[in-house]
Structure 1
Amino acid sequence: MRAPRPKVAIAAVAVAALAVAGCAESNRDDKSGGSKKDTLVFGVAGDPKVLDPSFASDGESLRVARQVFETLVRPEEGGTKVTPGLAESWTPDAAGTTWTFKLRSGVKFHDGTDFNAEAVCVNFNRWYNAKGLMQSPDVTAYWQDVMGGFAKNEDAELPPSLFKSCAAKDATTVDLSFTRVSSKIPAALMLPSFSIHSPKALQEFDASNVAGTAEDIKYPAYATAHPTGTGPFKFKAWDVANKTLTLERNDDYAGTKAKLKTLIFKTISDENARKQALRSGDIQGYDLVGPADVEPLKSEGFNMLTRPAFNVLYLAINQKGNPKLADIRVRQAIAYALNRQQLVTSKLPPGAKVADNFMPDTVEGWNGDVTKYTYDPAKAKALLAEAGASNLTLKFHYPTEVTRPYMPNPKDIFELLSADLKAVGITVEAIPLKWSPDYLNATTSGSKHDIHFLGWTGDYGDAYNFIGTFFDRPKDEWGFNNKALFDQFKDADTTADIAARTEKYKALNKSVMDFLPGVPISHSPPAIVFGKDVTGVKASPLTDERFSTAEYK
């Protein structure tokens, strides 16, 4: 799960507001037999971008979606293993291209309609038959990352679709067919982007009517005010002006019902402000705790949870933006110039470590025997001289107004990395940009950037979800075309035997680090904190925390 990729900020429909301060206050009233504590206000770093997870790729939108919607399969609580969701079991055919899912019975959508195999097919056919702006990578990023293209590609550069068809065999049995074997199936189906929506609501609110232009995308009312899933919480209100999004318990939920009656996500972009709101009781938890605040808050008695490191921070090098960067010696010089250990030690939380691959060592396919670029300023200078780039000038983009699990303080990171580059003779032109949409547009959809840093939190426990997401085809962020590397990815992805595929991923990690399209910087274990009397939530490496289990002790 990475940054969203919108060309413009999404304009949400403001709906009825809930008095957040009053709810937080009522939670503090419970002394001895007073009002029951059944509302939790959780502080988040940014607004969700959209409420239809089909169109979402940002963490805050996906956090909301995980409470409202369910998928066929889901991650185990606190882990990455595939476990039952709306499907109780799943089995591939002998060829490995058709998967049969046995569905849970008795499940209803929030609008009271039945969940069944036909509903599953309505959803997959909606995605597969997308047209117009729904085929933009800024709208359906995850569908394209996993499935490639559509039934009828409107852009010649889109690849053929991995998805082929959906067939409802009976109310609780559905077949999903694919054009080839893929390592992504079934694990990728746990992504919130593959959440199953109410067919009735999709039709009623014209959910696929994405209008406007690529520069001014306008989402339908379903995506801003009427998300309808089967999850433990239902959507109630999104007050854009007051930066609150309110969910209420789904009392008709087929599984274990939420212990909270009301869940409110409150946007507080400044980490210090989130910390003070927690201490004052205005919120009862928040995400992206600053590394320096972990121990102090823990010592004060707050419930601090640390997620396993399942992310990567990287420095991307755009070979198209600056011809000098197409020279492998220049990219190697940049890698040797960076004192990554100093950054990890001084700016990241305890347990963080320098990255040798573009994925953490907990994922099968990680390779400890890749080319490593240890801090060596003298070697960096020599490589620059050899390449005729001793007077190199680079435009260094970095984001503002953002905190990410892999990137707690972007300005601090920029200052350390730019100082390292300047120390070997590289002139750095600083270009700070607001995170969304300016920075994301400039670095992932343009070609004028030279270097920038970004990151990724894994969606599921497969190597392809990390390195394949970055490097399996030409992308503007990196600006290179390496057919041999792309073919290597295709071969690994279509290898059915898990052990053989793992070895191919190890070889891919070596190829990537030899080619060096960028520099993996670090893996960080981000923290999430709750109030002293809040319990029941388990930290997830996928940021898949389940608020339905939260309660006051």
Structure 2
Amino acid sequence: MLRNHKKTWSLVIATMLSATLILSGCGQTAAPTKEGTTATSKPVDGGTFRFGMISSPSNLEPAFLEENNGIEIGKELYDGLVRYDPKTLETKPAIAEKWDYSADKKVITFHIRKGVKFHDGTEVKAQDILDDWNRLAAKDTASPVSFPLEPIVGFKEVNSGAAKTMTGLKKIDDYTVEVTLGEPNAAFITSLGHPAVGIYKIAGAAKAGKDFGTPASTPETLIGTGAFKFVKWNADQDVTITKFNDYYGNKVHVDQVVYKIYKEESTALNDFRAGNLDYVDRMPPGQQQAIIKEFPGQTIKNVALTTEYIGFNLNKAPFKDNLNLRKAIAYAIDTQSVIDTVREGISTPANGPVPAGMPGYDKELKAPTYDKAKAKEYLAKAGYPDGKGLPVIQYSYNFTQLNQKVAEAFQGQLKEVGIQTELKNLEWGSYIKALQSGDSQMFRLAWGADYPDPDDFLRILYSKSQWGANNDTFYSNPEVEALFTQGLTETDTAKRMAIYKTIQEKVVAEQPAVWAFNTTYLELFGKNVHDFTVSALDQKDMRTVWLSK
């Protein structure tokens, strides 16, 4: 379909990934399919899809779509130049109908689809893309998710405040944008599916000022390009979006989606039982197997491209310059027992930063696994025999019932080898600020794929360029930094994967984290829900779902 498209890395990724979910029986006429959706009769239009969401999004401004819930809603409000097929994760055209490469792969020409409308009815043109992307890159914006634009010539100057616009971003005419990269970049096109680079009306953002993307947003200021448009956000209660009738793509079936916000999984589950929800995205710990039995054919086990880990702040004591202490904790953590008990067998142990199923995953990677004797051995090497002299370590996590149970289990395991911890839970907004500012000491984080490429789990989490944004361990290694560049510029797939294998070996050897789980999520949907797709990015496609009467 696209000229030179088969030569891009995105198609290689699509053929290597599996987005298969365990899904059965979405409604009385439904039959499960291998893609993790449901084959149904003719869709019915209308109705409100009531989405039970655990914890509030932190922001709906594209520049700050850095966590699951913000991304979940943002992807419906903002279309980018490309999008991901929810079943295969293949990169497909969206606002850009096609793109071409120069012979050296450094210049990409995007051809903008004519007739794409903003939610206020005006047409999207090339200058809108330039304005949005330059704003995303700007120093004053201070976006933690501007990384898709880093390869563009002039990004560093705009990001540092030395320039207002990227020299590598040009408008050729109203429907053509030319992007010049510093070097060929195998992940660039794929990364553009992140809603952070989605297109919105910049005049609305300017009018809203500091309120843009917050609960104070209005439909007159938060103006996107997606299949749904913004209606309202009641802080800590719900977010409402409604279908956009002038959307250029396939028309959606439901009239609106209401994301009902809950602090605890058990409250959402009870609301589902009462008939007040069509879907719940997280289940309470200790009840998952019972829920599967209670709602036969209505649960999804979504094997997501996610790695959950314990991070160490390498800029703070006691972890700074103390590899032995970090390894002691790694050997003290028994992830399999936590999976078997707290997580009820749902999830698998991680062996490094890249999750199983992602291109570049190395199943032979040898990260430390549970060994109590070795934990005590390394604790002594760290200068704290049996934990003597080691101050209490603060272990922080964002609050959910499951996160709390897991944290308590890890706390008990560390205590067995002499490591004392203090648990600290925070709501998401405060938590992410603490991580990015370097205030945390040891912390829990789950990193789900922003885009289906190993670069997203390695460079984005362990490059010095991401300090204060996504690299919350503040890890840095000049040799690894050089390999990050090689991984992006290498066009041979086998050679590229070999580079990422080496990166993983080096990062694991320095233990900036304990990689605990490759996460599987148990999710629950109503009997009247049809054509519901959950991707391996753990994103739910509201453009195809419909509700039977």
- TM-score w.r.t. the length of structure 1 is 0.82
- Given residue 460 of structure 1, which amino acid in structure 2 is its aligned partner? Y
1:248 aligns with 2:254: no
Residue 419 of structure 2, aligned match among 408, 422, 426: 426
Residue 157 of structure 2, aligned match among 151, 158, 166: 151
Compared with structure 1, are the counterparts of its residues 208 and 491 closer, same or farther at alpha carbon in structure 2 (3 Å cutoff)? Answer: farther
Aligned-residue identity in percent: 24
Aligned match of 1:471 = 462
Name the CA distance, whole Å, in 2 between partners of 1:511 and 1:502.
Answer: 14
SS at match of 1:167: strand
CA contact 2:79–2:198 (8 Å) conserved in 1:
yes
Compared with structure 1, are the counterparts of its residues 518 and 51 closer, same or farther at alpha carbon in structure 2 (3 Å cutoff)? Answer: closer
- Given residue 231 of structure 2, which amino acid in structure 1 is its aligned partner? K
SS at match of 1:524: strand
Q: Following superposition of structure 1 onto structure 2, how do residues 533-552 of structure 1 map, counting pairs within 5 Å?
A: 533-552=528-547
Name the CA distance, whole Å, in 2 between partners of 1:503 and 1:431.
Answer: 39
Query: Which 5+ residue runs of structure 1 have no aligned equivalent?
Result: 1-34, 211-217, 404-408
Compared with structure 1, are the counterparts of its residues 528 and 257 closer, same or farther at alpha carbon in structure 2 (3 Å cutoff)? Answer: same
Cα deviation, residue 208, structure 1: 8.6
Aligned match of 2:393 = 395
Cα deviation, residue 301, structure 1: 4.4
Compared with structure 1, are the counterparts of its residues 238 and 323 closer, same or farther at alpha carbon in structure 2 (3 Å cutoff)? Answer: closer
Aligned match of 1:287 = 281
CA deviation digits over 1:448-469, x for unaligned, max 9? x432221201111111101111
- Given residue 411 of structure 2, which amino acid in structure 1 is its aligned partner? S
Cα deviation, residue 332, structure 1: 1.5
Compared with structure 1, are the counterparts of its residues 396 and 482 closer, same or farther at alpha carbon in structure 2 (3 Å cutoff)? Answer: same
SS at match of 1:383: helix
Compared with structure 1, are the counterparts of its residues 438 and 238 closer, same or farther at alpha carbon in structure 2 (3 Å cutoff)? Answer: closer
CA deviation digits over 1:59-117, x for unaligned, max 9? 22221111111111111123332122222222321222211223323221111111233
CA contact 1:66–1:192 (8 Å) conserved in 2:
yes
Cα deviation, residue 54, structure 1: 2.0
Q: Following superposition of structure 1 onto structure 2, how do residues 35-50 of structure 1 map, counting pairs within 5 Å?
A: 38-50=47-59
1:56 aligns with 2:62: no
Residue 434 of structure 2, aligned match among 438, 442, 449: 442
CA contact 2:46–2:253 (8 Å) conserved in 1:
no
1:521 aligns with 2:530: no
SS at match of 2:330: helix
Compared with structure 1, are the counterparts of its residues 126 and 252 closer, same or farther at alpha carbon in structure 2 (3 Å cutoff)? Answer: same
Cα deviation, residue 207, structure 1: 5.8
CA contact 1:150–1:161 (8 Å) conserved in 2:
no
CA contact 2:97–2:111 (8 Å) conserved in 1:
yes
Cα deviation, residue 188, structure 1: 0.7
CA deviation digits over 1:437-486, x for unaligned, max 9? 43333333124x43222120111111110111111117363244422222
Cα deviation, residue 294, structure 1: 4.2
- Given residue 347 of structure 1, which amino acid in structure 2 is its aligned partner? V
Larger deviation, residues 437-446 vs 276-285: 437-446
- Given residue 433 of structure 2, which amino acid in structure 1 is its aligned partner? N
1:454 aligns with 2:445: yes
Aligned match of 1:71 = 80
Name the CA distance, whole Å, in 2 between partners of 1:513 and 1:162.
Answer: 38
- Given residue 426 of structure 1, which amino acid in structure 2 is its aligned partner? I
- Given residue 142 of structure 1, which amino acid in structure 2 is its aligned partner? V
Name the CA distance, whole Å, in 2 between partners of 1:434 and 1:324.
Answer: 22
CA deviation digits over 1:382-422, x for unaligned, max 9? 2222332222234132235336xxxxx12211121122211
Q: Following superposition of structure 1 onto structure 2, how do residues 403-422 of structure 1 map, counting pairs within 5 Å?
A: 409-422=402-415
Residue 86 of structure 1, aligned match among 87, 90, 95: 95
Measured on the aligned residues, the alpha-carbon RMSD in Å equals 2.8
Cα deviation, residue 433, structure 1: 2.9
Aligned match of 1:267 = 261
CA contact 2:204–2:222 (8 Å) conserved in 1:
no
SS at match of 1:347: coil
CA contact 1:165–1:177 (8 Å) conserved in 2:
yes
CA contact 1:354–1:523 (8 Å) conserved in 2:
yes
Aligned match of 1:127 = 136
Name the CA distance, whole Å, in 2 between partners of 1:184 and 1:492.
Answer: 9
Residue 111 of structure 1, aligned match among 104, 107, 120: 120
CA contact 1:244–1:267 (8 Å) conserved in 2:
yes
Aligned match of 2:16 = none
Compared with structure 1, are the counterparts of its residues 387 and 291 closer, same or farther at alpha carbon in structure 2 (3 Å cutoff)? Answer: closer
Query: Which 5+ residue runs of structure 2 have no aligned equivalent?
Result: 1-43
Aligned match of 1:8 = none
